Amino acid sequence: MKKLLIFGASGLVGKALVKECKDSFDVYGTYATRPVDLPQENQFQLEISDVDQMKDMVKTIRPDAVISCLRGEFDEQLEFHREIAKEIQHTESTLYYFSTANVFDGDFTKHHTEEDAPNAASPYGKFKIECENLLRELLQERAVTIRIPQIWGKNSPRLDQIKSGIEEGAIDVYSNLECNHLTDELLAKQLKYIILHHLKGVFHLGAVDMMAQSQFVEELVGNLTNKDVTFHDCLLEDKPETFHFGLKSIRKDLPERLVKTNRALISDLV
């Protein structure tokens, strides 16, 4: 059985990956404070600043695939990923790096595909671009970039926030923000397929259609409750124009069962 090492296994996406992959791989994972659902000998507490411990883990485990869904200070993350890449540079390991739609937050005039050159305005988007480029430079095709939109899950902070809004009877929404979404469970299934089939390059994962953020939230709330909720219609950046912030994909690698619409994701969440 091939070995899979997940950095950040205790987060929302990390937990979903552990659950989805542990029957198909020998899974190892790291956590910051809370242990994960793995055998004791397969999980490690790791601070992002502890590069030496990371190197020891990689040398000992010798993973076939490494997934990074880490969080932390940008400078520390960049250094950590540089050292991961250098550590596996002369092995056969493949690194799957979670990036973001924010690599395109410098251009809201259209939704973006894998062929579009990243264009970020935010510090977060610029950091993600720098990390993508660094990993590609060191690992070439063994650096696989997974760009994702907003992630939802049945136990996610985003859904908890919606439920709190339902209790309070009011939720802020954006009518001029058009985007797509993804759930932690579907993302885990998609990435497992990508790993098992040795797919390479850049992937834009997310619902295959676009929807106004206000419409997505209103339909989600309508599926969660019959209670009257007031939706406060806001404009992103107080501007009337539509902001296009979706990840489109021109790739046809994933099977139909792993491709969903925003409404199908809402159904999965409720």
One DSSP character per residue, the chain reads: --EEEEETTTSHHHHHHHHHHTTTSEEEEEESSS--SS-GGGEEE--TT-HHHHHHHHHHH--SEEEE---S-HHHHHHHHHHHHHHHTTSS-EEEEEEEGGGGTT--SS-B-TTSPP---SHHHHHHHHHHHHHHHHHGGGEEEEEE-EEE-TT-HHHHHHHHHHHHTEEEEETTEEE-EEEHHHHHHHHHHHHHTT--SEEE-S-SS-EEHHHHHHHHHHHH--S--EEEEE-GGG-SSPEE--B------S-GGG---HHHHHHHH-
Domains of the chain with bracketed CATH: 3-150+182-204 (3.40.50.720), 151-180+207-269 (3.90.25)
Angle subtended by helix axes 262-269 and 184-196, to nearest 10: 110
pLDDT tens-place values along the chain, 270 residues long: 899 999 999 999 999 999 999 999 999 999 988 888 888 989 999 888 889 999 999 999 999 999 998 888 899 999 999 999 999 999 999 999 999 999 999 999 999 999 999 999 999 999 999 999 999 999 999 999 999 999 999 999 999 999 999 999 999 999 999 999 999 999 999 999 999 999 999 999 999 999 999 999 999 999 999 999 999 999 988 888 999 999 999 999 999 999 999 999 999 998
What pLDDT shows up at residue 49?
A: 87
pLDDT tens digits for range 153-184: 999 999 999 999 999 999 999 999 999 999 99
What pLDDT shows up at residue 1?
A: 85
What pLDDT shows up at residue 236?
A: 87
